[in-house]
A and B are shown apart, each in its own frame.
Chain A
Amino acid sequence: MLKKIIIVTVIGLLCALSALNAGGTKEQTTQAQTVYTFGGSTTVAPIANAAIAAFTASKSDVKISYEGLGSSTGLKQLSQGTITLAGSSRELKDSELQSLLKPIVIALDGLSVAVNSSVAIANLSREQLAGIFSGEITNWKEVGGKDASIEVIVRDETSGTYASFKEIVLDPYKKSYKTQSIVARENGELAAKIASTPNAIGYIGMAFNHIVSEAGGHVLTIDGVEPTSQNVIDGSYPISRSLYIVSKGELSESVELDFVNFLLSAKGQSIVAENEFIPVTR
């Protein structure tokens, strides 16, 4: 019996392995493909990956990949020539602009701050936000509310939203997130937890303002400015930033140029919106 067991198992494994192999070789042998490697900001990654899928759907001879390296690494590899387009979620430094890197804004990113309905506050300053999310301000009365301890809700550490909020709100004050915060895995869960936890505060992609109010929380103004797409576009809303695709030098006729143009087209911008960012061209 044992012998039988072993034989059958081995046969099964061999079948499975050969199936895996077949899958692997097929991919390599399909005709001559030109491979392009882009990379950079992980915030840009969902847009880039969705756009690449749509862009290459009709082009069987082009294969593009986007590596989530982080903005700085991406820009470095771009100037070294390892990749041919870089995604960046921060503005370029002077040194990078001098080495002929050329940024193109492809989307805007804005984050709303939302609170539970029990919080009788309508506005916070950026400095107060930094204090709350770093754990230095722990009671609502310190920012003009009632005497109740603040429950901070954050996104999971690897999400782009977590990183965006840290860069825009905490980094300018050289602060880091407090560890005693409830972690929500996605925007829907975050909205639900803000709505169900008294004295809670959290941040969420601006596209989700309506879920927050539907769930029963409310969205704050920051430095007196409402979080609307319009205020992000005119630059008055502080928790916002631009997302860039960066090329080395001016793009001439190439797959890269086609890809950038695709991103800026109506189709490309609808992909931007689908991925919860604010389109730049309307």
Chain B
Amino acid sequence: MGKSPGNLKARKRADAAVSNILLLTAFISVVAVLLISFFIIAKALPFFTEVPLREFIGSTVWKPSQDPPSFGINSFVAASFFVTILALAFSTPIALACAIYLSEFAKGKSAEILRRSIELLAGIPSIIFGLVGIALVVPFVRSVFGGNGYSILSASIILAIMILPTIINISEVSIRAVSVELRENSTALGATRWQTISRVVLPAAKSGIITSIVLGIGRAVGETTAVLLVGGNAAVFPTSVTSMGRTLTMNIITDMSYAEGTHMSSLFATAVLLFFFILLLNALIFAITRKPQKRDG
């Protein structure tokens, strides 16, 4: 079964062709990202020549159709911030506990059911979360905390549920990836199971857990439909957890259908701000996940 050199050459060439085709398809996504960034920035540029950045980010007055108009998104930045922080505060402890249970304790059928339902939770469309929010969370917040129920708090409760799967899945994987030797060494030293988990396993899985939280932040900041339905959407600065709020994404979608001229480009400027924020988060994940590899090696 001797192979002639010509045959080998042809096969190598075919190999190279396939790898190039694959590379090309892979770069469709790169091109998409670049085109989207160009598009958003190009659409937003005219706005920045008309309204100074300081007024855009610093002012809390959003009256795009008033004469003269005012484009201040400070309230929306604040609302996005508060909603995200609250959602993380609700979600992280539950998600971490769940991840620890799944990776360390859960066995057999119950673990399987739990894992499946978390996957299912990740697949539910956000409009469904929004409707459930209107039907359950809003009345709950209204009766327990007062106000009309459409609030920062309602939005963050819904978001907390939505980011659970993101945090659980990635944390679980990184906790599972902690080597058995580490656990055995800890047990050999006489540590209890809980001591092993809290002092050895969790610190070892730290970078993965932080990454999961940052990804959760990204999901929370970018979520639109669900928070739109429960956040109240009033263009006011949120002063308490029960006050209404409008996040950056809500602002874009609320005005998109009718906006024109400077108003339209102000929405793209809002999108640019969001875009930079997400880039920043990605850079953060990159920085976090890089460090421990150095330590290992």
A275 adjacent to chain B (CB < 8 Å): no
Distance A182 CA – B228 CA, assembled complex (angstroms): 11
Q: Are A9 and B34 in contact (CB under 8 A)?
A: yes
Say if the beta carbon of A4 comes within 8 Å of chain B.
yes
The CA-CA distance from A56 to B279 in the complex, in Å, is 44
Q: Given A12, A13, A197, which contacts B148 in the complex, CB threshold below 8 Å? A: A197
Cα-based distance from A8 to B34 in the complex (angstroms): 13
Chain-B contact segment, one of A157-165, A218-226, A252-260: A157-165
Which of chain A's residues 14-67 have a Cβ closer than 8 Å to chain B?
16, 42
Distance A185 CA – B235 CA, assembled complex (angstroms) = 13
Q: Knowing A157-B235, A182-B150, A184-B233 touch, does A192 contact B134 (C-beta < 8 A)? A: yes
Q: A16-B31, A158-B259 are in contact. Are A183 and B254 (CB under 8 A)?
A: yes
CA distance A182 to B232 in the complex (A): 5
Complex Cα–Cα for A5 and B33 (A): 14
- Distance, CA A189 to CA B233, complexed state (A): 12
Are A8 and B23 also in contact (CB < 8 A) when A68-B260, A158-B263, A179-B236 are? Answer: yes
Interface residues contributed by chain A, number (CB under 8 Å):
30
CA–CA, A12 and B26, complex, Å: 11
Q: How large is the interface on B (under 10, 10 to 19, 20 to 34, 35 or more residues)?
A: 35 or more
B64 in complex: contacting residue of A16, A42, A158, CB < 8 Å: A158
Residue of A9, A12, A13, A42 most packed against chain B (CB within 10 A): A12
B259: chain A residues within 8 A (beta carbon): 158
Contact with A along B239-266 (1 / 0, CB 8 A): 0000010100000011101111001000
Q: Which of B27, B138, B253, B260 contacts A9 (CB 8 A)?
A: B27
Chain A residue nearest to B263 in the complex (CB): A158
- Asked if residues B27 and A158 are in contact (CB atoms below 8 Å), the reply is no
Q: Could you name 26 residue pairs across A and B whose Cβ atoms are closer than 8 Å?
A: A4-B23, A5-B30, A8-B24, A12-B30, A12-B31, A13-B31, A13-B35, A16-B35, A151-B148, A156-B233, A156-B255, A157-B65, A157-B255, A158-B65, A158-B255, A179-B235, A180-B236, A182-B148, A182-B150, A182-B233, A183-B234, A185-B233, A185-B253, A193-B134, A193-B150, A198-B142
4 additional contacts, CB 8 Å, given A158-B255, A196-B138, A197-B150?
A5-B30, A12-B27, A182-B148, A182-B232
